[in-house]
Amino acid sequence: MADHIKITAAQGTWVVRAGGAVLGESTNALELREGDYPPVIYFPRGDIAMAFLDASDKTTHCPHKGDATYFSVVTKSRTLQDAVWSYEDPKEDVAEIKGHLAFDPREEIAIERV
């Protein structure tokens, strides 16, 4: 694994909300720490209400994790463009995040341990 990336089980129960709606809750989330960046919580896809997410055309590439695909979050009042990402086929060193979703911690999105 890249020396600056560490993936561990996120302790406790994690919830993600957008536009007042609970998008998911998980006791099986992962925490990814990469260098000096804030930690990112990755939720198992099965713990997220996928009906709130629309696939986006956006993709990005990380030399350590691979290619990310994006989703927009559809709330009652608006669509939060490209607010969620997933590594559908991550590099072998970070294979644990396959099948997981990460959320951009914006003003309209809350990621909390409860």
* Residue extents of the structural domains in the chain: 5-113
Q: Are strands 100-103 and 109-113 parallel, antiparallel or unpaired?
A: unpaired
Q: What's 5-113's CATH class?
A: mainly beta
Q: How many residues does the chain have?
A: 114
Digitized pLDDT (tens) for each residue of the chain, 114 residues in all: 456 899 999 999 999 999 889 999 999 999 999 999 999 999 999 999 999 999 999 999 999 999 999 999 999 889 999 999 999 999 999 999 999 999 998 989 999 999
pLDDT at residue 76 in the model: 87
Contact of 18 with 52, CB cutoff 8 Å: yes
The three-state secondary structure class of 52 is helix
Q: How many Cα atoms occupy the beta-carbon half-sphere of 57 within 13 Å?
A: 0
Using the 8-state DSSP alphabet, how is residue 48 labeled? B
